[in-house]
Structure 1
């Protein structure tokens, strides 16, 4: 039993309080991105963005900790944390690609997919301990999603229905409506 407890409470390079704070930060910042998507009734909303951000942070923490593990520090073992970044990027891109749909001559879900990809980057940033980078990325995403969404309405580039994701496939009066070029918000 002592071996099991010792295995569960393994010593980490980063204190557990810091790890828990990083994972909590990933949840919070992923939620900020997801709330905006949820308000617009997109398929990947609050929970999806939280999970993507949290998973990315967990992978980053594991990468940091694996570099410092004594059992993986022998000369025959080579740990490269950059591979974790590549794997998370590829995995999240796969999820984000699943959000993109081509229907009735329109591409939908690009912005939601990009938001998921950014949530992954935010999670990785926090997992590696780069809080300011993660916070700036999350806040910048909110500016892009919310403020620029309002600007698109003000400039009549999108209708409120298109912005909310409830358009019935009818192009709104915009420059590119004749060509069917509609972007997701």
Structure 2
């Protein structure tokens, strides 16, 4: 059980360091709980072995852990528009449960090797993946603008001037402004999917767009703290 705390904590530290939903204590508790259930399944019913109508199956409780841990992983998955976050954290919680079951069953070598591979996947492969996919990922931007002729063209021109490619665009009319009061002028939500070549180009383009008078609000993962031209209370958020 102490080994389960150590192995689960190692994975949890990486998740905590990256500011994810399930962190240090969550991974420790999942790993420790899985180990305890495995120990219970293997040794907790030994007094019933000699009963005539009792059949022992040490894997039965373990199977319930593997299927039941999904509810905890689902709580770590968040959806924001077209972006889904938390899948890796949910997977790490599921793997930690498997590590705990391995420790409880006495499969220490497998548990430690699995922990090492998980840490390599979460830490080293994460950096390699970001480097490899830096020019192939799409960045999502939500912009609320005053719906008047030429507004969309001006925003598209800014992206073009900064060498930012628009992969997809969704336009949704809005009857209210960001503050909830009836709009004096009709407004519209624009959802851009941008293909990133250089991150600094996207940041520069968003800064220029945020300063435009017809822009009411702008939401992006790359930039925070910018004031939009159309509303003093709106800002670009992470």
* TM-score for the superposition, normalised by structure 2: 0.56
1:99 match: secondary structure = coil
Cα offsets for 1:129-169 (capped at 9, x unmatched)? 000000011100000000011112322539xxxxxxxxx96
Alignment pair present for 1:132 and 2:109: yes
CA distance in 1, matches of 2:52, 2:34: 28
CA distance in 2, matches of 1:106, 1:52: 27
Deviation at 1:120, TM superposition (A): 0.2
CA distance in 2, matches of 1:49, 1:169: 31
Distance change (3 Å), C-alpha of 1:73 and 1:170: farther
Alignment pair present for 1:108 and 2:107: no
Q: Is the 8 A contact 1:61 1:128 kept in 2?
A: yes
Match of 1:92 among 47, 69, 80: 69
Q: Which is strand-richer, 1 or 2? A: 2
Give the ranges of 4+ consecutive aligned residues of structure 1 lying more than 6 Å apart after TM superposition. Answer: none
Alignment pair present for 1:150 and 2:116: no
How many aligned residue pairs are there?
144
* TM-score for the superposition, normalised by structure 1: 0.71
CA distance in 2, matches of 1:117, 1:32: 15
Which structure has the larger Rg? 2
Deviation at 1:57, TM superposition (A): 0.2
Alignment pair present for 1:63 and 2:38: no
Q: 2:3 maps to what in 1?
A: 25
Aligned-residue RMSD, C-alpha = 2.4
Per mean C-alpha deviation after superposition, the further-off stretch among 111-120 and 75-84 is 75-84
CA distance in 1, matches of 2:133, 2:112: 31
Q: Which is helix-richer, 1 or 2? A: 1
Per mean C-alpha deviation after superposition, the further-off stretch among 124-133 and 97-106 is 97-106
Pairwise mapping of residues 154-165 of structure 1 onto structure 2 (< 5 A)? 154-157=131-134
Distance change (3 Å), C-alpha of 1:48 and 1:75: same
Distance change (3 Å), C-alpha of 1:66 and 1:41: same
Q: 1:123 maps to what in 2?
A: 100
1:78 match: secondary structure = coil
Q: Is the 8 A contact 2:48 2:54 kept in 1?
A: no
Q: For structure 1, which runs of at least 5 residues remain unmatched after alignment?
A: 1-22, 159-167, 172-176, 181-185
